[in-house]
Amino acid sequence: MNSTPDIALFTAAFAAYVAAFAFFLVRSATRRPGWGLPALAATLAGFAAQTVALILRWRISGHPPLASMFEYASVMSWMAAGSLAFLVARTRRYEIGNYVSPLIIAMMAIASLVPKTLMEQLVPALQSYWLHIHVSMAAIAEGAFALSCGLAIAYLIKERRPDTPPEELERLDALNHRAISIGYPLFTLGALFAGAIWAYNAWGSFWSWDPKEVGSWIIWLFYTGYLHARYQRGWRGRRAAILAIVGFAMVILSFVGNLFLGGQHAYGTE
Amino acid sequence: MPRSIPTQPGRTGDQASPSPAAPGLVEQVYRLLTDTRFAIIVLIALAVASVIGLIVIDQLPWRGELARGHFAGRESTPLVWALIHLVPLSPFRSLLFRALLALLSLSLLACTIKRWRHHWRRALTIALPGENTFASPAVLHWTTRAARDAPREPSAPGAAGEADRAGARHKVADLVAAYLKQRLFVVRRLDREDSTTLSAVRFGFSEMGSILTHLGLLLLVLGGIVLASTGFSRLVWLRPGEDVAVPAKGFRVGLDDFQVQMTPSGRISDYISTVSVYEGDRPVRQARVEVNHPLRHQGYSFYQSSYRQDPTRVRSVDLLYDALVMEDLAFAARAGGLASAAAEHRELPARLEVPMTITVPWGTRVPVPDTPFAVEIDTFLADFRIEADGPRLASEEFHNPAVRLHVFAGDSLAGAAWHFLLHPGMPVGSGLVLPVRFADVHPIWMTGLEVSTHPGSPLVWAGIALMSLGSILVFLLRRDQIWLRARRTGEGYEIALAHPGATRQAPEFVREAWEKEASPLAIRIVRLLEPAGAPPVRGKPFPSAGPQPEAGRNA
């Protein structure tokens, strides 16, 4: 069952995100604000197509689309696209799209590379309401980390331009921090705690140092360090931006780590 | 060193009173543990150790157990000791990793102690504005038009006018207090002769969030260490009818039934053990144990962890034979004795004239119809392999199922032979070997129950609860504080609103949020003070104090 109808919509969403990125770039390159609207529209169109794709997949399989690497990557990019559209529509700062949409495209690309087989029957361990809580919260948190990474890249690039007003940098820094302050508690509660409680019920131990657990633990340690550096040591601006980028790189590493490290979290990798 | 404090001549270090420049060892350690830089270094070290641990799990060949075997007798030499104790089977249980966790715990504890009082005070108290609170350029000011336009004349108002004004100010304070209380603020009020000041705090208790998260993490780390050190976990394989005893608690869990449910496409959809708990011989409880639904009894947990087919026992095997061939064999045995019959009829021909099947259950001697023979299963091996000392189970998978059948003639054992499911034409044995084909096997499903105890789990649960609550308090309910001052200035009034979050450094949009909240309130206040006056204007403080804020705009 490799080509369920949702895959076509997924591809359409992918194309829309690529188009959105192109429009965002054209807008920046030509300095014509008129390109902003098509870019936002394409992002929204991609988001809508992906929403339908996810709902379709849910309906066909009978379980939320959170049970394989493809589904997880798709939900993660869907979250980031939704946040980007919301942020751009609300703040009218289209240039954020230049930096966040390539990350969405990267996540979509990863999703398109892993097997898309639809599992109509979940393995017994996944048949639990914790699937909804644990995986959706983790995906939303990592979507927020993706957003913060895009904002951090924007910060670093804009910082090098002499004509960038300081308020612009402040705003990017604060938005970056905001994204991490949303992602971090969700990650703590959803990825770590909900995961630990589920593991306690399903596998018999809260924590078993499975590769994915170690990955999440490292990501959590890293963002904990980020928040302490920010609150206690006053790390802002460039340093905070670099940390946000490294943090998301870890998220991606932990995600693709499933493919070569295996472990108990390697669902739907073959 | 012109600014250094000279040591007084004649005073030795022993006599010197403790000075801030020379803290004691405990003080130094405490300072180190409460230093954020130290905490960040520990976090980084833990992350690095975890990365190494992740690689070590699969990659490093010389872990503790191997080292113990390889360097037997030299376990006390430092290198081997280190290999055994610092690099054991699980790197996450190594001394090194635990030392880092201990450092993290100490740092968490020290930080909690150090910051407790500060956060506790901020959670419970409502501080009045400081000297310069209203002088900050980020403070919002509204003035009544009368006050703004009127020249400042230090007139001597009559007693009645003064009382009116005081009444108006009190009304203002009441109005603002009611408004803030509606928005969940706790309000403290200070009336002075010419001004009324309100201090309001919302979600002050969220100040405890950071303490709770740190304490929660401390409990989690401690709970984790207790669990890893004292927890017990063992996989038990049970066939229906068997049980696992927990002598320490005086109960046993017996498997009544085990079902493996499949979808039509052959995927496993669920596997369910039905068990009974016995105390002595008395059944006290019956339960279904499924994945995600363990049985917990007297501190022991039973998880549906795995399933497999019993590699050394079966429910039954199906044997295929030819009625005519078997008849010939029976005749030969009667006529010429078992030895000649055995020599003639070992194998079943490829083409069967009258194919028959006989099912032989485990532990039952089954007569072969129309013959004086009976068969019984002696041994079953799911993965048969012959080795120097005889047949062995090569693996627990059903790679090469083989059954050893005993053949009885009357009551005496006439022969025994191995029959192979995958090689039906090659029975191997001695004495009378029946010409039968091992056609099918009906396996016994065994349930794999993980029996475990979690002695540190209350600590873990408390840690998860505290950290979750703390995270919600820190990230969702931030402590919010505002100060409001209504002050008479000449003939009019000035309203000033200060918010600690609104500083010159804070980005504009952080200020926007509370300005949006504060503006209508301030306008209502000014209106209350001067109902007949012109609309109030958001603008410069009056009289102006400190640097000027942004240009006034109509409210």
The answer to whether B141 and B542 have CB atoms below 8 angstroms apart is: yes
Nearest to B379 by CA among B321, B419, B424: B419
Beta carbons within 8 Å of B270's beta carbon, 6+ residues apart: A124, A127, B261, B290, B291
Residue identified by tokens 């130290």 is B38
Cβ <8 Å between B510 and A185? no
DSSP B400: B
Tokens of B159: 């007693």
Q: Which of B304, B305, B471 sits opposite A185 (nearest CB)?
A: B471
Q: How far is B325 from chain A (nearest CA, A)?
A: 48
How far is Cα B285 from Cα B296, in angstroms, rounded to an integer?
11
Q: State whether residue B195 sits within 8 Å of chain A by CB.
A: no
Q: State whether residue B38 sits within 8 Å of chain A by CB.
A: no
Q: How far is B65 from chain A (nearest CA, A)?
A: 19
Does the pLDDT of residue B127 top 50, yes or no? Answer: yes
Mean pLDDT of B122-138: 78
Give the model confidence (pLDDT) of A123-165 as tens digits.
777 777 888 889 889 988 988 998 899 899 989 988 888 888 8
What residues of chain A lie within 8 A of the CB of B46, using their CB? Answer: 221
Does the pLDDT of residue B109 top 80, yes or no? Answer: yes
Q: Which of B53, B294, B452 sits opposite A214 (nearest CB)?
A: B53
Per-residue model confidence (pLDDT) at position B68: 67
Give me the percent of chain B exceeding a pLDDT of 70.
Answer: 74
Does the pLDDT of residue B354 top 50, yes or no? Answer: yes
Residue identified by tokens 């919600």 is B472
How far is Cα B156 from Cα B158, in angstroms, rounded to an integer?
7
What residues of chain B lie within 8 A of the CB of A120, using their CB? Answer: 263, 265
Burial call B104-128: b when 16+ CB within 10 Å, e when fewer: bbbbbebbbeeeeeebeebbeebee
Q: How far is CA B2 from the centre of its chain?
A: 57
Nearest to A88 by CA among A9, A180, A175: A175
Chain B residues 206-245 with a CB less than 8 Å from chain A: 224, 227, 231, 233
Distances (CA, A) of B193 to B147, B163, B190, B197: 18, 11, 10, 11
Give the model confidence (pLDDT) of B38-93 as tens digits.
988 999 899 888 888 777 655 454 555 666 667 777 777 787 777 666 655 567 77
The answer to whether B218 and B462 have CB atoms below 8 angstroms apart is: no
Mean pLDDT of B441-470: 91
Does the pLDDT of residue B9 top 60, yes or no? Answer: no
Cβ <8 Å between B46 and A221? yes
How far is Cα A207 from Cα A198, in angstroms, rounded to an integer?
10
For CA atoms B460, B465, B470, B475, the dihedral sign is positive
Per-residue model confidence (pLDDT) at position A192: 93
Torsion, CA A200, CA A202, CA A207, CA A212, rounded to 10: -150
Q: How far is CA A247 from the centre of its chain?
A: 12
SS3 A185: helix
Mean pLDDT of B407-418: 87
Optimal mutation site among B475, B508, B512, interface A, most CBs of chain A within 10 A: B475
Mean pLDDT of B23-44: 88
Cβ <8 Å between A201 and B509? no
Q: Which helix (H) or strand (E) holds B445?
A: strand B437-453
Q: What residue type is assigned to position B323 of the chain?
A: A
Enter the pTM of the model: 0.76
Using pLDDT thresholds of 50, 70 and 90, give the confidence band for residue B21: low
Chain B residues 489-508 with a CB less than 8 Å from chain A: 507-508
The strand pairing partners of B244, in sequence order, are B253
What residues of chain A lie within 8 A of the CB of B89, using their CB? Answer: none
SS3 B293: strand
Mean pLDDT of B305-312: 87
Give the model confidence (pLDDT) of B146-175 as tens digits.
544 444 444 444 455 556 666 666 777 787
Q: How far is A261 from chain B (nearest CA, A)?
A: 9
* Higher per-residue confidence, B16 vs B27: B27
The answer to whether B253 and B259 have CB atoms below 8 angstroms apart is: no
Low-confidence ranges of chain A (pLDDT < 50): 1, 269-270
Does the pLDDT of residue B24 top 80, yes or no? Answer: yes
Q: What residue type is assigned to position B154 of the chain?
A: P
